[in-house]
Amino acid sequence: MALIVVAHLTSKPEKVEETRAALEGLIAPTRAEAGCIKYELHLNNADPTRFCFLEEWTSDAALDEHLATPHLQSLVARVPELLASPPDIGRYTLIG
């Protein structure tokens, strides 16, 4: 069964464009990863500082491999600079 990930990220207001560019830069390399079924970035309509990734992975192992990739690790290093708070990331299993 596939693993669903929902990741909420809140940019610092003065870093919205930089944050958006950094997040968009993850899309192509992540979609090319083995085990990635879906990787979508969304912007909150009411709050332009809030972003959400909706992801689907073949397994926990595939997601763990993604978390270790250079493109994701380069973003992790920039979290204190770009984000107003730590990302809120949850792993979910479809039950219905």
Per-residue pLDDT of the chain (96 residues; tens, 9 = 90+): 889 999 999 999 999 999 999 999 999 999 999 999 999 999 999 999 999 999 999 999 999 999 999 999 999 999 999 999 999 999 999 888
The whole-model pTM stands at: 0.94
Q: What is the CATH number of the domain that holds 65?
A: 3.30.70.100
Q: How many domains does the chain have?
A: 1
The helix (run of H) or strand (run of E) holding residue 23 is helix 16-31
Strand partners, 11: 83
Domain span at residue 89 reads: 3-93
**Four-point Cα dihedral 37, 68, 74, 49, nearest 10:** 50
Residue type, 66: H
* Vertex 48 angle, CA 76 and 87, to 5°: 25
